[in-house]
Amino acid sequence: MSLLDASLIADVPPFRGIERENLVALLSNARSERYEIGRTIFSQGEAAHSFFLLLDGHIRVVKVTPDGEQVIARYISSGELFGIAQALGLDCYPANAVAAVDCVVLSWPGSLWTTITEKYPTFATNTYRTVGARLQDAQDRIVEMATERVEQRVANAVLKLANQTGRKTDDGILIDFPISRQDISEMTGTTLHTVSRLLSTWENEGLVKSQRKKITVTEGHKLAVIAAGKSDS
């Protein structure tokens, strides 16, 4: 890969602090691939043959329960590592990774994980910081499921997506990839009917604008009040 390619990841968190010549060496072992929206990058239970960096786009991480239900565990944004089963000591991927939009992805053979983390301490430090943050996020979601009302969970999910991927528009903060009401229901452990009812109510109240696979947060502070459980609406 060219020096231009190396410059694309020089400021990406896992690679910050690594010298240019070492970035070039790392990229020489990487494979670049485009994934169209809806395409599966890897599947739950599949042998963890590679780990990945999302250069552009958004990835939906979906966990399938033993009874076949789908739960959206998180969304991955540009500049994030994913499929890092090796960091968790796993031989197989614990969830599906699906392109939420058209994506550009770098991948490295999983066999190189130990070599890379040992040779580049900053990569290891940043990666395990990411793992820790995701584990904390998973714990927070468990607490939310157990203690928060459904309207709080849905409000939290919408705000989190807006904060993570939001793009300013004249109407407010647009979640910058296609997001359906079914997606929100799978993120929050509730029904499609409930999510549709809440979004319709919030739209009537001027908190959001909801179109087909598009959600814009227009009154984020009011939605945050609901997320904090300070409103009975």
Phi-psi bin for 33: left (phi > 0), alpha (psi -120 to 50), beta? Answer: beta
Give me the pLDDT at residue 1, please. 45
φ/ψ of 63, rounded to 5, equals -100, 130
pLDDT in tens, the chain (233 residues): 444 478 878 888 889 888 888 998 899 899 999 999 999 999 999 999 999 999 999 999 999 989 888 889 999 999 999 999 999 899 999 999 999 999 999 999 999 999 999 999 889 988 888 888 888 888 888 888 777 899 999 999 999 999 988 899 999 999 988 899 999 999 998 999 999 999 999 999 999 998 888 999 999 999 999 999 875 44
Cα–Cα distance, 111 to 48 (Å, whole number): 9
Domains recognised in the chain with CATH numbers? 7-145 (2.60.120.10), 148-227 (1.10.10.10)
Give the whole-angstrom CA distance, residue 139 versus residue 133. 10
The radius of gyration of the chain's CA atoms, rounded to the nearest angstrom, is 19
Count how many residues are written for the chain: 233
What confidence score (pLDDT) does residue 6 get?
81
DSSP code for 200: H
For residue 89, with 0-12 CB atoms within 10 Å meaning exposed, 13-18 middle and 19 or more buried, which class applies? exposed
pLDDT of 233 reads 43
pLDDT at 141: 80
How far, in Å, CA of 196 to CA of 191, rounded? Answer: 9
Position 131 scores a pLDDT of 86
Say how many C-beta atoms besides its own lie within 10 A of residue 211's C-beta. 8
Q: pTM (2 decimals)?
A: 0.82
Residue 231, pLDDT score: 57
